[in-house]
Amino acid sequence: MNVERTFEPGLEPGTVDELIQRAHLAMEVYENRDQERVDQAVRAVAWSIFRPDRARMLAELAVEDTGLGNVESKVVKNTRKTFGTLRDLLRAKTVGVIEEDPARGLVKFGKPVGVVGAVCPSTNPSATPVNKAMMALKGGNAVIIAPSPAGCRTTETAVNCMRSELARSGHPPDLVQLLPAPVSKHATRELVEKVDLAVVTGSQNNVQSAMRSGTVAIGVGPGNVPVIIDSSADLDAAAGKIADSKTFDNATSCSSENALVILDDVYDAAIAALERAGGWRCSPDQRDRVAARHWRNGILNREVIAKDADVAAEIFELPKEAASRRFFMVEELEPDGIGGFADEKLSLVLTVYRAADFEGAQRIVRRILEIKGRGHSVGIHTRNARHARKLAMDTDVVRVLVNQAHTFGNGGSFDNAMPFTLSMGGGTWAGNTISENLNHRHFINITHLVSTIPEDRPSELDLFGPYWDRYGK
């Protein structure tokens, strides 16, 4: 689709102002009042990364650029997340009439929020930009993506793929643009300040900066997931799910298990199950070497983050047999603090605690979340529904996953009700504006058409009666 472009005088190519003007011009010719056309644009963006050759190419490029994670996991992430998100989006109405309720005299119209600025992390330099672009276009918007410095080349390639598919399907390519290199905090901050909506994933510095920008902003808090294994759990099933989840993309996900809290009466059996699933149980001396090399002056050692098990084992100076295992367990008595084993690790190191009973396990979980991850999520492996409900009732998190591989379930799954996403809000507990998974609803404004209905006015007795009965008038 062609459109004559007239730009304000004095705009330098590639500047934030020019990118935003291009986005507005693209929105003018985007058929964003037609749900079918909008859905075709979303399909185009999804196909840009789901196509098998591109899914692998972008996965390989991401690992090459950032040194984080592994190719096979990123191929899965590029395809599974995209496919699940597309499923969710195609089932939703977002433009024009999105809901009618004649009994209440109410009609809702979905409308764009405008130009979206999407700040993306190095851990997912292709999957996250496409995920956010799909949601933004579903709402009838345009999006400008700000990449991380480490993942800039991968994100630029992903954006070019999206633009190519949009053009092929008759949509303006400028619906998706990239904040160009060199990537800088200044340019990213300027973008956040000038767009209509900022959606920020990645470092908490970026999230907090966006929240202070004056722009309507959606940010997500850090993960640091603790998971309880209680006395009723199927230990081998739990261990298998934890191992698969912990090792996926070398633990780059914010939803990766960072700590296990195991009840005392099944502790030894659970450790044995985890060893069968590929875990290496560190001795006290080995635990000390892991601690000394995992952090440098309280800061995560980038040589360890998201590295393969054999690479990490060598850095930690673990025995040769440890290098062939999938992940490493360190046992702690109590959560320590920032820069310790209770903190988010982004590595194949899994901290394990022993709890005398379920109440003790909950106490340890709360302490871990106070250190980092409050609001994000927890998990539990159990056959006791009361334990799961009590954990949800007592813990200040948005998500409590039961008997699931946390990385695969937290951001949406085909066998749970969570929307597919790569950005998970933590509510006010985490300083976030959303307490759910980022989804299409966050990318639309809603106009309410309100008509009169038969009066719905209860009596005073209906409303105050229970109070009067107990306390009098």
Give the alpha-carbon dihedral of 461, 462, 467, 469, to 10 degrees. 60
- Alpha-carbon distance 343 to 308, whole Å? 20
Answer yes or no: is pLDDT of 244 > 80.
yes
| Mean pLDDT for all residues in the chain | 95
Residues 209 and 186 in one domain: yes
Residues 401 and 297 in one domain: yes
What distance, in Å, lies between the first and last C-alpha atoms of the chain? 69
The SS3 assignment for 75 reads helix
Q: What is the mean predicted confidence (pLDDT) over 407-421?
A: 97
pLDDT of amino acid 8: 53
Residues 127 and 260 in one domain: no
Lowest mean pLDDT among 30-34, 206-210, 468-472: 206-210
**Token pair of 197, please?**
């909506």
Residues 392 and 443 in one domain: no
Q: Domain of 213: which CATH number?
A: 3.40.605.10
Catalytic position from the list 120, 152, 161, 254: 254
The SS3 assignment for 357 reads coil
- 170 neighbors 158 (Cβ within 8 angstroms): no
pLDDT of amino acid 209: 85
pLDDT of amino acid 4: 44
Domain count, the chain: 2
Answer yes or no: is pLDDT of 266 > 50.
yes
Answer yes or no: is pLDDT of 13 > 90.
no
Question: Does the active-site annotation cover 254?
Answer: yes
pLDDT of amino acid 3: 42
- Please check whether residue 313 lies inside any domain of the structure: yes
Residues 123 and 24 in one domain: yes
pLDDT of amino acid 12: 64
Which pLDDT band holds residue 104 (cuts at 50, 70, 90)? very high
The conformational region for residue 93 under phi > 0 = left, psi -120 to 50 = alpha, else beta, is: beta
- Please check whether residue 356 lies inside any domain of the structure: yes
pLDDT of amino acid 10: 52
Task: Using alpha carbons, list the distances in angstroms from residue 426 to 219, 226, 372, 374, 457.
Answer: 9, 15, 12, 7, 38
- Please check whether residue 256 lies inside any domain of the structure: yes
* DSSP per-residue string spanning 453-466: -S-----HHHHHHH
- Please check whether residue 94 lies inside any domain of the structure: yes
**Token pair of 367, please?**
């302490």
- Please check whether residue 84 lies inside any domain of the structure: yes
Which pLDDT band holds residue 6 (cuts at 50, 70, 90)? very low
pLDDT per position as a tens digit, 174-213: 999 999 988 889 999 999 999 999 999 987 888 888 888 8
Could you give the strand order of the β-sheet that contains 197-200, starting from the edge strand earlier in sequence? 176-178, 142-146, 115-119, 197-200, 217-219
- Please check whether residue 421 lies inside any domain of the structure: no
pLDDT of amino acid 11: 54
Residues 181 and 263 in one domain: no
Residues 177 and 249 in one domain: no
Q: Which residue has the tokens 């991850």?
A: 373
pLDDT of amino acid 93: 98
% of the chain beyond a pLDDT of 90: 91
Residues 186 and 280 in one domain: no
Residues 93 and 151 in one domain: yes
Residues 381 and 239 in one domain: yes
Residues 275 and 187 in one domain: no
pLDDT of amino acid 374: 96
- Please check whether residue 65 lies inside any domain of the structure: yes
Q: What is the mean predicted confidence (pLDDT) over 87-94?
A: 98
Q: Domain of 338: which CATH number?
A: 3.40.309.10
pLDDT per position as a tens digit, 40-81: 999 999 999 999 999 999 999 999 999 999 999 999 999 999
Q: What is the mean predicted confidence (pLDDT) over 276-295?
A: 97
pLDDT of amino acid 205: 83
**Token pair of 223, please?**
């993960």
- Please check whether residue 23 lies inside any domain of the structure: yes
- Alpha-carbon distance 458 to 392, whole Å? 35
Q: Would the CA dihedral through 342, 365, 428, 139 be positive or negative?
A: positive
pLDDT per position as a tens digit, 309-367: 999 999 999 999 999 999 999 999 999 988 899 999 999 999 999 999 999 999 999 99
**Token pair of 300, please?**
């995560």
Answer yes or no: is pLDDT of 1 > 50.
no
pLDDT of amino acid 208: 85
Q: What is the mean predicted confidence (pLDDT) over 372-383?
A: 97
Instruction: Give the length of the chain.
Output: 473
Strand pairing report for 444-450 and 106-112: antiparallel
Residues 248 and 393 in one domain: yes
pLDDT of amino acid 221: 86
- Alpha-carbon distance 23 to 394, whole Å? 45
- Alpha-carbon distance 73 to 58, whole Å? 12
Tell me the residue range of the domain where 66 lies: 16-220+438-448
